[in-house]
Amino acid sequence: MKFPFVTDDGELVLNAKVRIPYGEIDIRATTSQGPGGQHVNRTLSKIVASFSVESSNVLRDSDKEWLLMMVGPTVRTSASRFRSQRQNKEAALEQLAVRLATALVRPRVRRATKPSKSSKTKRLDSKRSRGEVKKLRRNIED
């Protein structure tokens, strides 16, 4: 199963543990520029999907804090590529799912490591050999 994705009923599945129901997503339709000619000025084909992180009931407190830090209190996406409102709605929900899923990914904590004894030896040997090459290039004065 590949994450994130949108189910048939509009639910956003961000990862194996986080599912955002359609009821928590605010969908608004407006007029937009784009394909459609004169028809575009009269139809509400552009879709703006927004999700309020603070008022979500499905996110854990730790996820809310992380999302607030990463993307802010409200996440918005819009789609107006298509002439169809349905297609733009699907595109906006997919964009929202991708944005939320990528924001939820936490980077791995880097643990400092010590260089091994052999790597230290190799580094010092290469420095010594480089120094020898430079020494041979010097002018020899009588």
Residues 6+ apart with CB under 8 A from 21: 11, 58
Residue 113 lies in a domain: no
45 assigned to some structural domain:
yes
Q: In the chain, how many domains are there?
A: 1
CA–CA distance, 34 with 17 (Å, rounded to integer): 37
pLDDT in tens, 84-126: 899 999 999 999 999 999 999 999 999 999 999 999 999 999 9
Asked, for residue 124, whether it belongs to a domain, the answer is no
Kindly state the DSSP code that residue 57 receives in the 8-state scheme: S
- Would you mind telling me the total number of residues written for the chain in this entry? 142
Residue-wise pLDDT for 73-83, tens only, equals: 999 999 988 88
| pLDDT over 70, % of the chain | 94
In a domain, 128, yes or no: no
Burial track 30-40 (b if 16+ CB lie within 10 A, e otherwise): eebeeebeeeb
Q: Assess whether pLDDT exceeds 80 at residue 38.
A: no
* Residue 82 located in a structural domain: yes
How many angstroms separate the CA atoms of 32 and 80, rounded? 7
Domain of 66?
5-104
DSSP three-state, residue 51: strand
Tell me the per-residue pLDDT of 102-111, one tens digit each, with 9 for 90 and over. Answer: 999 999 999 9
- Give the pLDDT score at 132: 94
Residue 44: strand pairing partners: none
**CATH number of domain containing 91:** 3.30.160.20
